Structure 1
């Protein structure tokens, strides 16, 4: 059993809050801090420990903080867990990074990649390290979590296998020792770009596979398994090409960071709902209205990566024809064409 530590989780959304379960089960002191969007969650959790969006009772002993007390919650913590979505990265950079103290390493649940006009794609741990105040650079390590893990199942202590990635092997090992339990199994890797690409792109491709549910699933959404399987395979093929282009480890694609995570994402949640609606013929505008208030990570990552691929394609560094499914997903979410799926182009 690891020595008891203080773990501060910044972001009281579903996944950030679920991370409190293995942390508390290992006996650590946990401080859960809400972002400016989480006041209602913190208020309810303080009252009776119930998380209103996760719809689970949180473990006992957690200390709850609003964003106004962020500095207090971070002071003296041994590990900071970043529990924000990709839409919160700029807020995290501005508000959390300056409050870090030397030796307070960061473990992030955030999924995504940052694109640049020249086609580069950078993982968020690298981006956050670059955004550190000058006085803290080289004194804080950034790691991230990837793999098939739904927040509500983690909160229920279901058997879960994930990867922790980071360039600082000691920091990754420490985070693993703090959080690994009999149900939360962690594999360390130094391949930050490969892991982060897998876990980000699973959202984009889950959207594409889920379109088949709307196109062929019928009213009960229980059919269309053949097209879903074909698109699942195409997704693995295209992500292998992308990761090979980036120079990362393609073995992660057939493992739990992509294939496993894609499987989980297709079976439920916001991405499945969006893909199904688009497959049923709804425009993106109509689908967004029906999913009002839902964070659409799949849309953000698709647009970012396709923008990068278009830049790389214009420079002759990739062939856009190698990514027919992803390009079609981008067309659909930008209302350039309906979800018809380019079967003859898949290769």
Structure 2
């Protein structure tokens, strides 16, 4: 039995308690300052208010953020379970209290823009925030897996990535079950880039849903247009993976994650509303209070592309979909899919 401390009581972080406890591990679920109601309710009833599921009855303890030191003490591993909006909070408040010999696994998907708008994945960003005299091992989770279906024990294929294959094997032993299947990779850049980009492009594909159903929602959802945008997304992501220095084989994680994200959730709602003709401001008002990581990732990805184009490394015309998404959410452009720009001629 191992002690697994999870910092952040969001949906995916909490869903991981299912495979973890099934493997006879002890889970300590710690809420961030924004998770107080989740922790209070779960502690009293076992019900997770946003995951909408009963959490495991055995093997899980609940902590508010004030008790985070107690929750980390004696833990064998720590899971970073915050959203991309909580990355800096985790870096500033949690990394410093995690012992050097305690491996960290991050479930947060995304990246930040560094110097020259370079894309930096979260494990490397976290390490840049650690004092030079402190050594931490930070791995991450990628791949197509929704929190509620993990909690329902639907078969899911994910990948754990990190610098140390032995640490990754240890993490795999803690979480792998008959329904939670785990591959391992030491290509952190490739995996993290692949799964971060899917949020930006899922928004782009979802524009077709809104265009099809129309402003009043009376239309019928079409799939040819979604498939076309899906294919263009993979084309652009594959190019970005190569530019970022990640292996192109990681496109399978983008593809799978893109597929599952388009079928439901927050990113689909954003793209659908924009496609229906609502302005970005109207869309944000309708989704007030919803964590919208896709907006952040799309903006950062476009910034990266624009920076490369400014230096003559790429052409903006190589990335028509993400540039159009960026124009919609950051420049007030109306949805007008650049279909002709997707065409190519191969001889």
Q: Give TM-score, length-normalised by structure 2.
A: 0.96
Q: Which residue of 2 aligns with 1:299?
A: 295
CA positional deviation for 1:86: 0.8
Q: Which residue of 1 aligns with 2:94?
A: 96
Cα distance in 2 for partners of 1:44, 1:153 equals 21
Q: Which residue of 2 aligns with 1:225?
A: 223
CA positional deviation for 1:247: 2.0
Residues 97 and 133, structure 1, Cα contact 8 Å, conserved in 2:
no
Q: Which residue of 1 aligns with 2:320?
A: 324
Cα distance in 1 for partners of 2:128, 2:164 equals 15
Cα shift readout 1:147-168 (whole Å, capped 9, x = no counterpart): 1100001011111100000011
Q: Which residue of 1 aligns with 2:235?
A: 237
Cα RMSD of the aligned pairs, angstroms, is 1.1
2:117 counterpart SS class = coil
CA positional deviation for 1:130: 1.9
Q: Residue 209 of structure 1 is aligned with which of 192, 196, 205? A: 205
Q: Residue 282 of structure 1 is aligned with which of 278, 284, 307? A: 278
Q: Which residue of 1 aligns with 2:159?
A: 163
Residues 328 and 341, structure 1, Cα contact 8 Å, conserved in 2:
yes
Aligned length: 340
Q: Which residue of 2 aligns with 1:179?
A: 175
CA positional deviation for 1:132: 1.6
Cα shift readout 1:169-226 (whole Å, capped 9, x = no counterpart): 1111111111101110000001111111111110000000000000013536752210
Cα distance in 2 for partners of 1:346, 1:116 equals 29
Residues 202 and 258, structure 1, Cα contact 8 Å, conserved in 2:
yes
Of 306-315 and 214-223, more deviation after overlay is shown by 214-223
Q: Residue 116 of structure 1 is aligned with which of 114, 117, 120? A: 114
Q: Which residue of 2 aligns with 1:74?
A: 72
2:24 counterpart SS class = coil
2:116 counterpart SS class = coil
Q: Which residue of 2 aligns with 1:56?
A: 53
Cα distance in 1 for partners of 2:342, 2:89 equals 39
Long gaps (5+) in structure 1: none
Distance 1:222 1:25, change over 3 A: farther
Cα shift readout 1:49-93 (whole Å, capped 9, x = no counterpart): 000100000001310000111111011100101100111010000
Q: Residue 146 of structure 1 is aligned with which of 142, 146, 149? A: 142
Q: Residue 313 of structure 1 is aligned with which of 286, 295, 309? A: 309
Cα distance in 1 for partners of 2:280, 2:274 equals 7
Distance 1:73 1:330, change over 3 A: same
Residues 145 and 164, structure 1, Cα contact 8 Å, conserved in 2:
yes
Cα distance in 2 for partners of 1:207, 1:327 equals 12
Q: Which residue of 2 aligns with 1:30?
A: 27
Cα distance in 1 for partners of 2:245, 2:331 equals 32
Residues 213 and 276, structure 2, Cα contact 8 Å, conserved in 1:
no
CA positional deviation for 1:99: 0.7
Cα distance in 1 for partners of 2:134, 2:211 equals 51
Cα distance in 2 for partners of 1:56, 1:222 equals 31
Q: Give TM-score, length-normalised by structure 1.
A: 0.96
Long gaps (5+) in structure 2: none
Q: Residue 264 of structure 2 is aligned with which of 253, 261, 268? A: 268
CA positional deviation for 1:248: 1.2
Cα distance in 1 for partners of 2:324, 2:331 equals 11
1:63 counterpart SS class = strand
Residues 31 and 65, structure 1, Cα contact 8 Å, conserved in 2:
yes
